[in-house]
């Protein structure tokens, strides 16, 4: 179980995927020791990606130096980039889908719940309180 003092929900599967990649990379490099273990480094990278915190804030939260945070994030991002599909592979997957969201932003598609104008809190004609 990994912990970081923040209000952040993360996927255990995603953390394990990155931690496994970091573990393999450290085995290839044959590093003797690191300031953070692979689980904490994976959490550091995910916290950076998810919350966009500064290196100084992350350094304070993980009790490491700012330079260490920079190096660990760069290493984690390089490994994630190596795991990512190529553009050709992504296009092949997209061909089989009904729709594709290219920018990664979530889209509200629950049309049943959004059936009436009164259900839309920010609809210009809505006079109901949302609160």
What pLDDT, in 10s, does the model give residues 62-76? 889 999 999 989 999
Enclosing domain of residue 95: 87-119
Residue 62, in any domain of the structure: yes
Residues 60 and 114 grouped into a single domain: no
pLDDT tens for 11-21 read 778 788 888 88
Instruction: Tell me the C-alpha to C-alpha distance, in Å, between residue 39 and each of 16, 59, 92, 108.
Output: 8, 16, 33, 33
CA distance 110 to 13: 26
Q: Which of 87, 76, 22 is nearest to 46 (CA)?
A: 76
Residues 37 and 70 grouped into a single domain: yes
Number of domains comprising the chain? 2
Residues 29 and 92 grouped into a single domain: no
Residue 64, in any domain of the structure: yes
Residues 61 and 26 grouped into a single domain: yes
Residue 3, in any domain of the structure: no
Mean pLDDT of all residues in the chain? 77
Residue 128, in any domain of the structure: no
- pTM flag (> 0.85): no
CA distance 17 to 105: 22
String of b and e for 94-106 (b: at least 16 CB within 10 Å)? eeeeeeeeeeeee
User: Six-digit token pair at 78?
Assistant: 């390089």
Residue 28, in any domain of the structure: yes
């Amino acid at each position: 179980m990994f912990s970081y003092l923040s209000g952040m929900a993360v996927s255990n599967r995603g953390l394990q995927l990155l931690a496994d990649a970091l573990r393999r990379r450290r085995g290839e490099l044959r590093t003797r020791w690191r300031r953070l273990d692979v689980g904490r480094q994976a959490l550091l990278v995910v916290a950076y990606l998810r919350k966009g915190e500064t290196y100084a804030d992350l350094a304070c939260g993980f009790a490491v130096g700012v330079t260490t945070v920079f190096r660990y994030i760069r290493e984690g991002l390089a490994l994630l980039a190596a795991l990512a599909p190529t553009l050709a592979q992504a296009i092949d997957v997209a061909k089989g889908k009904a729709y594709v969201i290219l920018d990664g932003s979530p889209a509200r598609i629950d049309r049943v719940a959004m059936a009436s104008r009164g259900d839309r809190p920010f609809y210009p004609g809505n006079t109901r309180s949302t609160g």
